[in-house]
Structure 1
Amino acid sequence: MKSSSKFSPRCLNGFANWGAGNWPPSSVGTPLVPQSTDPQTLSLLNQMDPKRIQNYIQTLVNFHTRHTASDTKSPTTGIGAARNWLLKEMTELIKPSNGRMTASMPCYLQPAIPADDIFFAVEICNVQVEIKGSVDPNRTYVYTGHYDSRRLNLSDYTGYAPGADDNASAVAIALEMIRILAPVVAKTAPPTTIIIATVAGEEQDLFGSNFLAQTLKNASVNVQANFNDDIVGSGSNAPFDTLNQHTIRIFGAGTDYLTLPADVVAEFISTGYQDDTPARHLGRYVQEVNAGAASVTGMEVALIYKPDRFFRGGDHESFLNAGFPAVRFTEPQEDFFHQHQDPRVQDGVTYGDEIEYVDFEYTARVGKVNLLSLWSIANAPATPSNFTYDTNIGFLATTESTPPSFLENIIKLYWNTEPADPLLAYYEIVWRPMSSQQWTHMLNVGLENTTILPISKDNAVFGLRAVGKNGKKSPATYALAVASQFFG
């Protein structure tokens, strides 16, 4: 007998979206369309140069090793030569900025930690460029990529350790972003501060990134995002599916990295918001802005609900531990033959993180995603704060006098509108079914500080983001049921 179902039989059991479901049914808002990218930003992305990326990576490989404890006196070998070259290169690249970019190399002396394969005191130096914001300079966005390298034996600080993919690939992206942005900021500085940093000591214990994150925290800098690139170069050189050449993973940490009181974290989990941490909202942000510019980036973004890969870690964790939103970018399938390996041929198999296993076109595409995300977020309003909902409305009655309107399947939301953000045009509620990873709907709520939506809080997840006068949107923030934070 012919089925009379109105649903398309394209997927299992006749439902077009059987894995997530087209539920709950609602007419609230409009389907979310990825925010578009302005022509100027798109033109910046097209300047990401694979040949320059190749040259930067080759230069870093030529230092023989960039081990944290390697030579600091030689002009051609070791981490000292590498960091001096980075500072010189950044100093040259920022010249077109007319002084709006500053290059620096902050250092500190790291005592010996034998357990971390540091057997004598070493100087940890980050090499970085800062672009001071013109409107809200304390609001800051940070890009990081570590420039140190390693061999199989982490205590071997003299042997050849080219570190092409891990992690000269990310350093090359940093240098390209600095080069591309320098003439742009000379004309118009971004409203918020950007730091593009190459950090040291990652392979031992995230020394350089922790130094940077803690320095910013101690100075009460409002760091709203850290984009950390680490191992972003294999592309077509790894023996994997063609789709991997056009995909980048973003790892977003869950509640385990929240620096919030235990009762607040418990609420995250009990109300089903455990997938709505600042890190995951940051990952959703990158997904969305990339989707709006995918014809130029040539990439897809895969958000992974993990802080990092299996029993692995990276520099973004330093920012997470400091209480800052942070995500890690990593190629979709790591090539373990050419990572953390002594370069050699053994039993007919070639090992080693050599430059020949880096796909420069792929690395440039990853660079486009980073530049797009960093420049867009730095030119958007700040992520809203104190987003909360009423626990008495859309819930069980507490007394016989509870108003009938409170018993509807609705949610009343509140948020903080002070202090006023000069970049803000209006606020936007975003929401999605519980089973969906990405926001599905959006609703313009103007400049109000509260709204009521006819959706059960049990069936959906709600976020709030700010939309700028230039059309750029902030990442969303999460909702907490904390009565003391009501602003309506």
Structure 2
Amino acid sequence: MILIAGLNHNAQADVTYQDQQNLHEIVKQISPKNIEKDVISLVNFGTRHTLSETESDTRGIGAARRWIKSEFDAISEKCGGCLKVYYQSQIIQGESRIPNATEVVSVIAVQRGISDPNRFVMMSGDIDSRVSDPMNSSSDSPGANDNASGLAGTLEAARVLSQYKFNGSIVYAALAGEEQGLFGGKILAEAAKKDGWRLKAVLNNDMIGNIAGINGVINNTSARVFAEGTRMTETPEEARSRRFTGGEVDSPSRNIARYIDWIADRYIPNLDTMVIYRLDRFTRGGHHRPFNDLGYPAVRIMETNENYNRQHQDLRTENGIEYGDTLAGVNFPYAAKLTSLNAASLASMAWAPSPPAKVSIKGAVQPSTTLNWAALDKKQNPQLAGYKIYWRYTDAPQWQYSKFVGDVTEYTLDNVVIDNYFFGVASVSTEGYESPVVFPGAAGAFGE
């Protein structure tokens, strides 16, 4: 079906949206006390270094991962077995930070969707910690903010979201080996690719609890979302096409970041997100990167103001300055705020239909712009109401205009000139939940 519409876009300089009460309720349920309790439990293992003790029940990475699994198991028991909880491991050796054979073990919990179980969104946090020397596996390394905060947030999101049923699946991942070379993420990303997961979004949470920056700023009202531009797996042919059609700032990762920013504006009181057009902090990395490396949409969510005296430091006091990643550096209400941002974003995406596929666009030397996309599978997406077109000026950071066009696969925006805007398409459920926006062509595609 083809519909043609006349549209005065200057009179539509806004984005229509249906508020979702369930998302407000999810945000309210996230508990700072639960996050504090979990951070304390993780810190009490002394060190969670990847090369640390594995046999003790009270100290080291082995005790920590067994405790994490027991927490996921308890969550699953409360929801009638709704989570599949398992260890995921691989022997790593011959690496600069893992020279000898070491089993790197992550803990994964999967909440299967009811209509589209092979479509996944993910929240992750890191298990391991370190001090100044990345090879020091014996000294106390609390890792309270880096990254017990992100892992505690992942556990709390699982507690809350496991009370609901979703169309798509949600993964809660406690990833190991981050400080030694992002190995837990690499192992899970490769497994997802091998198993054919339709992984639409990875929200990696790495340090979500500090509000007092090394720069002297104290701020609990903002967060950063790092998102890469051009997809790592882009082919030379796709790069040539992108040169003429755009897409450098509309990778799926960046449209996931815009989605998270959109959720923050509507559901998270007193929180402003900064979408940062970079893979990660300058020259640094995190566990989202292995997913980006394989072409998956993935972002890093974290605090705005870092304190480097509390990162990768031996516990000590010098010249009146306390060094080390201790509980004193974690603000639990702030960590809960960022956790609620994750939970609302995951729930919204999992309730929404899958992002549209095979989105294309045409309109060169014409007064109007036409978008096409493939119809979603109705068995996988019984909640589908139709599709929504978004557009914005090319220098605008967020989508500015929108129009719901119904259950069609082609639509023409009359008198909206293709040269002046960037465009995208989202799918919409009968209850108004929306997928992330998909930019036309390979540069913006979320995969099949």
TM-score bin, normalised by smaller chain: over 0.9
Per mean C-alpha deviation after superposition, the further-off stretch among 47-56 and 277-286 is: 47-56
Does residue 427 in structure 1 map to residue 387 in structure 2? yes
Quote the RMSD (CA, aligned, Å): 1.9
Residue in structure 2 matched with residue 126 of structure 1 by the alignment: 106
Query: Matched residues in 1 for 2:88 and 2:60: separation?
Result: 18
1:92-171 to 2 correspondence within 5 Å?
A: 92-113=74-95, 115=96, 117-171=97-151
CA 1:249–1:81 in 2, change beyond 3 Å: closer, same or farther? same
- Once residues 237 and 216 of structure 2 are traced to their aligned partners in structure 1, the CA distance between those partners, rounded to angstroms, is 44
- Aligned mates of 2:27, 2:14 — CA distance in 1: 24
Name the structure 2 match of 1:400.
Answer: none
Shift of 1:204: 1.2
Q: TM-score, normalised by structure 2?
A: 0.93
Aligned residue in 1 for 2:336: 364
Matched position secondary structure for 2:170: strand
Say which of 397, 415, 433 aligns to 2:373.
Answer: 415
Q: CA deviation at 1:471?
A: 0.6
Please list the CA deviations of residues 112-151 of structure 1 after superposition, one character each: whole Å capped at 9, or x if unmatched: 32x2x21311111111211111101010111111110011
- Any gaps of 5 or more consecutive residues in structure 2? 1-6, 444-448
Which deviates further from its counterpart, 420-429 or 272-281?
Answer: 420-429
The 8 Å contact of residues 237 and 359 in structure 1, kept in 2 or not, is answered as: no
Q: In the alignment, what sits opposite 2:319?
A: 347
Secondary structure at the aligned position of 1:126 is classed as strand
Q: Report how far residue 481 of structure 1 moved.
A: 9.0
Matched, 1:474 2:435: yes
8 Å CA contact retained: 2:364, 2:419: no
Please state how far the C-alpha of 1:463 moved relative to its aligned partner. 0.6
Separation in 2 of the partners of 1:30 and 1:294? 26
Q: How far did 1:37 drift?
A: 4.2
- Of 49, 62, 72, the residue aligned with 1:67 is 49
Larger radius of gyration: 1
Offset at 1:430? 0.2
Aligned match of 1:253:
228
Per-residue CA shift, 1:335-382, capped at 9, x if unaligned?
Answer: 111111111101221111111110001001001101000111111011
Is the alpha carbon distance of 1:419 and 1:178 closer, same or farther for their aligned partners in structure 2, counting shifts above 3 Å? closer
How many corresponding residue pairs?
A: 434
Q: Provide the C-alpha distance between the structure 2 equivalents of 1:87 and 1:221, rounded to a whole number of angstroms.
A: 22
Separation in structure 2 between the aligned mates of residue 91 and residue 164 of structure 1, nearest angstrom: 23
Per-residue deviation at 1:41?
A: 2.6
Other-structure match for 1:207: 183
Q: Does 1:222 align with 2:198?
A: yes
Cα distance in 1, alignment partners of residues 70 and 260 from structure 2 = 31
User: In the aligned structure 2, how far is the partner of 1:418 from the partner of 1:89?
Assistant: 36
Deviations 1:401-447 (A, max 9, x none): xxxxxxx3322221111434322101111000011010000011112
Using a 3 Å threshold, how does the CA distance of structure 1 residues 40 and 371 change in structure 2: closer, same or farther? same
In the alignment, the residues of structure 2 paired with residue 306 and residue 144 of structure 1 have an alpha-carbon distance, to the nearest angstrom, of 19
Q: Give 1:468's aligned amino acid.
A: S
The question of 1:303 aligning with 2:303 is answered: no
Which residue identity is paired with 1:394? A
- The equivalent residue for 1:17 is none
Match of 1:452 among 412, 423, 436: 412
User: What secondary structure is seen at the aligned counterpart in 1 of 2:180?
Assistant: helix
SS at match of 1:56: helix
After superposition, the Cα gap between the structure-2 partners of 1:112 and 1:78, relative to the gap in structure 1 and judged at 3 Å, is farther
Same amino acid, percent of matched pairs: 33
Quote the residue 1:56 is aligned against. Answer: 38
The 3 A distance-change label for structure 1 pair 51 and 197 is same
> Equivalents in 2 of 1:289, 1:211: separation in Å?
30
> Judging changes above 3 Å, is the alpha-carbon distance between structure 1 residues 445 and 133 closer, same or farther for their aligned structure 2 residues?
same
Aligned to 1:18: none
Is 1:394 equivalent to 2:376 in the alignment?
Answer: no
- Structure 1 CA distance for aligned equivalents of residues 324 and 266 of structure 2: 37
Partner of 2:62: 80
Q: Cα distance 1:352–1:254, how it changes in 2: closer, same or farther (>3 A)?
A: same
Distance 1:328 1:316, change over 3 A: same
Report the Cα offset of residue 268 of structure 1.
2.2
Instruction: Decide whether the 8 Å contact of 1:388 with 1:481 is kept in 2.
Output: no
Residue pairs, 1:163-312, within 5 angstroms = 163-182=143-162, 184-185=163-164, 189-236=165-212, 240-242=216-218, 244-255=219-230, 257-295=231-269, 298-312=270-284
SS of alignment partner, residue 387 of structure 1: strand
Moved more, 413-422 or 462-471: 413-422
Q: CA deviation at 1:383?
A: 0.5
**CA distance 1:319–1:248, shift in 2 (3 Å):** same
Q: What per-residue deviation string (whole Å, max 9, x for no partner) do you get for residues 317-350 of structure 1?
A: 1111122111100111111111111111012211
Matching residue's letter, 1:419? D
After TM superposition, give the deviation of residue 192 of structure 1 in Å. 0.9
- Work out the CA distance in 1 between the residues paired with 2:214 and 2:75: 32
| Aligned partners of 1:148 and 1:203 also within 8 Å | yes
Q: Is the 8 A contact 1:434 1:459 kept in 2?
A: yes
Which structure has more RCO (C-alpha within 8 Å, separation ≥ 6)? 2
> How much does 1:240 deviate?
4.2
8 Å CA contact 1:250–1:301 kept in 2: the answer is yes
Cα distance, 1:238 vs structure 2: 6.2
Looking at structure 2, the residues matched to 163 and 58 of structure 1 have their Cα atoms a distance apart, in angstroms, of: 10
Tell me, in whole angstroms, the C-alpha distance in 1 between the residues paired with 2:342 and 2:247. Answer: 27
CA contact (8 A) 2:428 2:434 kept: yes
The Cα shift of 1:451 comes to 1.9
Q: 1:29 to 1:428 in 2, by over 3 A?
A: farther
Aligned with residue 322 of structure 1, among 291, 294, 317: 294
